[in-house]
């Protein structure tokens, strides 16, 4: 008997191999055992191929905005009544309109702001019209919470044309109008803020300001250098503060220092206040220099999102007259501010502060040309300031605003009486006063 495949079978296999070699190899390969669930197993290489095909597509990240431009703008108008301005007791109604805009642009760690503001107040019966305007620039660099630096510069103007001048009375008892209360102010400064330790905020600021008043035509720096003297001055200020931020409270303190040098006002002698300026006699005293230092502590409690916030402040203002101490003084300076969200659309604010000042031993004293103080043996001065306001949102951009304020001053400094004190002058001035003001208006505000 012969074994093996017959020639006919071999010929058939050879013919199939020539036509479809891959199919024949697949059919003649050994079968793989089935998996436990009855499905044939798949080779590892085939699994890898399938995995490669199922790769997920990565999502594209949103483009980073390297330039951010924003603008805040507001317009407000109000009308009200006031009883006077400091010792100038000329009550009357007033109306005021104001506008402000603050465009800013940010690029990475840099931010530039250009705030611009203007307002105009017109009085009905009193000649106390006032126009104000200011423009500035703020360039901030913020690398991290540990370094935040801002350079700033400002230019502002106050125009008070035709205000009654208590130092220029007319024979009929009225007051001569003057523009000498108008002024320009220019300043430049540097602010720094840092959070070196968690919750501990440090701030520092320096500024130099020039104040340029308009000269009155009657000012005579040679023959009458102490009459209607312009208030021109240069002032350096330095502010340092530290604050610890808690969840609900903030506690800290700081130090404010200023050095003010007058460009026209002369220093005064101790007690009698003489300047020796003018023709003849002793040489004039140097120009007036005052240094002010105010250490303070501050405490804040509450958060506006919790509907209220209370701010407390207590400082001691120390003024040093660098010549003979005529204007040297110490003032206790407490202050309190309270903000309450009365509703979703309403917010009320109230604040008050006091300056309880006592002058030094070289200040005003009774003499041949000086009448006695109205009480006590040392010049004192008390000032009380308070204000309240309420703002109610009427819509997305409109708000109703009501405001009120009061200013009170009490001192033992003698009043000016015509031809009595000061001797030979026609001044008639009462240093004690109580002034108030109230207004209501609308405000429109929009922010990008």
Q: What is the pLDDT of residues 35-46, one digit of tens each?
A: 444 444 444 455
The residue-averaged pLDDT of 244-261 equals 95
pLDDT exceeds cutoff 60 at 96: yes
Give strand pairing partners of 384: 354, 408
Which of 36-40, 270-274, 352-356 shows the highest mean pLDDT? 352-356
Q: Which residue has the higher pLDDT, 438 or 447?
A: 438
The residue-averaged pLDDT of 201-218 equals 97
**For residue range 377-435, what is the model confidence (pLDDT) as tens digits?**
999 999 999 999 999 999 889 999 999 999 999 999 999 999 999 988 899 999 999 99
Six-digit token pair at 106? 């940010």
**Quick one: pLDDT at residue 307?**
87
pLDDT exceeds cutoff 60 at 149: yes
User: In percent, how much of the chain has pLDDT > 90?
Assistant: 74
**Quick one: pLDDT at residue 58?**
53
Six-digit token pair at 376? 């006590």
The CA-atom distances, in angstroms, between 82 and each of 29, 53, 360 are 108, 82, 34
Give strand pairing partners of 185: 156, 211
Q: Which residue has the higher pLDDT, 59 or 19?
A: 59
User: Residue 383: CA atoms inside 13 Å, Cβ hemisphere, count?
Assistant: 14
**Statement: 143-447 belongs to CATH 2.40.160:** yes
Q: Which residue has the higher pLDDT, 130 or 13?
A: 130
Q: Is residue 278 very low, low, confident or very high in pLDDT (cuts 50, 70, 90)?
A: confident
**Quick one: pLDDT at residue 368?**
84
**Quick one: pLDDT at residue 197?**
87
The CA-atom distances, in angstroms, between 347 and each of 9, 149, 213, 422 are 103, 32, 38, 49
Whether the CB-CB separation of 219 and 242 falls below 8 Å is answered with no
**Quick one: pLDDT at residue 60?**
53
**Quick one: pLDDT at residue 203?**
97
The CA-atom distances, in angstroms, between 364 and each of 250, 280, 360, 415 are 41, 24, 9, 13
pLDDT exceeds cutoff 50 at 13: no
pTM, two decimal places = 0.82
Whether the CB-CB separation of 446 and 415 falls below 8 Å is answered with no
Mean pLDDT across the chain, nearest whole number? 88
**For residue range 327-351, what is the model confidence (pLDDT) as tens digits?**
999 999 999 999 999 998 999 999 9
pLDDT exceeds cutoff 70 at 65: no
pLDDT exceeds cutoff 80 at 50: no
pLDDT exceeds cutoff 80 at 323: yes
pLDDT exceeds cutoff 70 at 99: yes
Q: Is residue 28 very low, low, confident or very high in pLDDT (cuts 50, 70, 90)?
A: very low
Q: Is residue 54 very low, low, confident or very high in pLDDT (cuts 50, 70, 90)?
A: low
The residue-averaged pLDDT of 297-306 equals 85
Burial of 208 (0-12, 13-18, 19+ CB in 10 A): middle
Residue 126, Cβ neighbours under 10 Å: how many? 19
Q: How far apart are the first and last CA of the chain?
A: 103
Total residue length of the chain:
448
Could you tell me the residue ranges of all domains in the chain? 143-447
Whether the CB-CB separation of 241 and 208 falls below 8 Å is answered with no
State the Cα–Cα distance between residues 201 and 244, nearest whole angstrom.
6
Nearest to 41 by CA among 30, 33, 49: 33
Whether the CB-CB separation of 370 and 272 falls below 8 Å is answered with yes
């Amino acid at each position: 008997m012969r074994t093996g495949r017959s020639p006919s079978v071999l010929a058939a296999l050879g013919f199939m191999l020539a036509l479809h070699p891959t199919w024949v190899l697949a059919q003649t390969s050994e079968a793989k055992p089935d998996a436990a669930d009855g499905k044939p197993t798949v080779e590892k290489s085939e699994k890898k191929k399938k995995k490669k095909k199922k790769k997920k597509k990565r999502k594209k990240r949103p483009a980073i905005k390297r330039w951010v431009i924003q603008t805040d703008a507001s317009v407000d108008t109000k009308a009200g009544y006031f009883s006077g301005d400091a010792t100038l007791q000329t009550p009357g109604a007033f109306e005021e309109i104001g506008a402000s805009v603050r465009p800013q642009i940010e690029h990475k760690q840099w931010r530039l702001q250009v705030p611009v503001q203007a307002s105009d107040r017109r009085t009905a019966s009193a000649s106390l019209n006032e126009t104000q305007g200011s423009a500035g620039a703020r360039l901030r660099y913020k690398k991290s919470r540990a370094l935040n630096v801002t350079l700033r510069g400002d230019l502002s103007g106050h125009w008070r044309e035709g205000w009654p001048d208590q130092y220029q009375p007319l024979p009929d008892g009225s007051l001569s109008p003057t523009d000498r209360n108008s002024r320009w102010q220019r300043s430049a400064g540097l602010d720094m803020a840092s959070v070196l330790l968690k919750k501990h905020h440090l701030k520092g600021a320096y500024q130099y300001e020039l104040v340029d008043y308009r000269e009155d035509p009657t000012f005579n720096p040679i023959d009458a250098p102490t009459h209607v003297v312009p208030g021109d001055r240069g002032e350096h200020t330095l502010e340092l503060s530290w604050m610890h931020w808690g969840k609900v409270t903030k506690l800290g303190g700081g130090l404010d220092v200023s050095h003010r040098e007058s460009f026209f006002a002369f220093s005064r002698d101790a007690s009698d206040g003489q300047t020796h300026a003018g023709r003849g006699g002793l040489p004039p005293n140097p120009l007036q220099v005052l240094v002010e230092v105010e250490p303070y502590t501050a405490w804040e409690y509450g958060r506006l999102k919790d509907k209220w916030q209370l701010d407390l402040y207590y400082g001691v203002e120390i003024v040093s007259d660098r010549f003979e101490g005529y204007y040297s003084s110490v003032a206790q300076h407490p202050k309190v501010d309270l903000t309450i969200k009365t509703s979703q659309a309403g917010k009320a604010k109230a604040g008050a502060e006091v300056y309880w000042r006592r002058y030094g031993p070289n200040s005003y004293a009774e003499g041949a040309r000086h009448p006695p103080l109205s009480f006590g043996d040392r010049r004192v001065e008390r000032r009380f300031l308070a204000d309240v306001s309420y703002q109610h949102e009427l819509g997305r951009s409109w708000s109703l605003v009501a405001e009120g304020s009061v200013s009170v001053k009490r001192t033992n400094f003698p009043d000016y009486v015509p031809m009595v004190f000061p001797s030979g002058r026609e001044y008639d001035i009462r240093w004690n006063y109580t002034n108030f003001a109230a207004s209501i208006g609308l405000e429109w505000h929009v922010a990008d």
